[in-house]
Amino acid sequence: MKEHTVKLKQVDMLCHKCILNVLKALSKIDGISELDVSLEEKRVKITYNNEKLSRQKIQAIVNESITKGKVSEELFH
């Protein structure tokens, strides 16, 4: 098993819900051994088995798990 650590900068992480979504999505993935998510630093640090996962796959999972809030125009009328 070859473990690697990757640190991803995620500028779209805006709230604690984003962290929960990232943790929930990544905790289901076989091959991840350690997760550290920081809202203050907007960073996700992941230690993973590169024989089971790629950096690109992890990044795609993180990006899909972060939802952006949208405000309805009706609030401004």
CATH number attached to the domain at 3-67: 3.30.70.100
Of the listed ranges 14-18, 30-34, 67-71, the one predicted with least confidence = 67-71
Amino acid letter for position 49: N
Query: What does the pLDDT read at residue 68?
Result: 54
Amino acid letter for position 3: E
Mean residue pLDDT of the chain comes to 84
Report d(CA 73, CA 77) in Å as an integer. 7
CA angle 48, 33, 45 (to 5 degrees): 65
Give the global pTM. 0.76
What is the residue extent of each domain of the chain?
3-67
Does 42 or 12 have the greater pLDDT score?
42
Phi, psi of 18 (to 5 degrees): -60, -45
Residue 31: pLDDT band (50, 70, 90) is very high
Query: What does the pLDDT read at residue 53?
Result: 94
Report d(CA 43, CA 13) in Å as an integer. 8
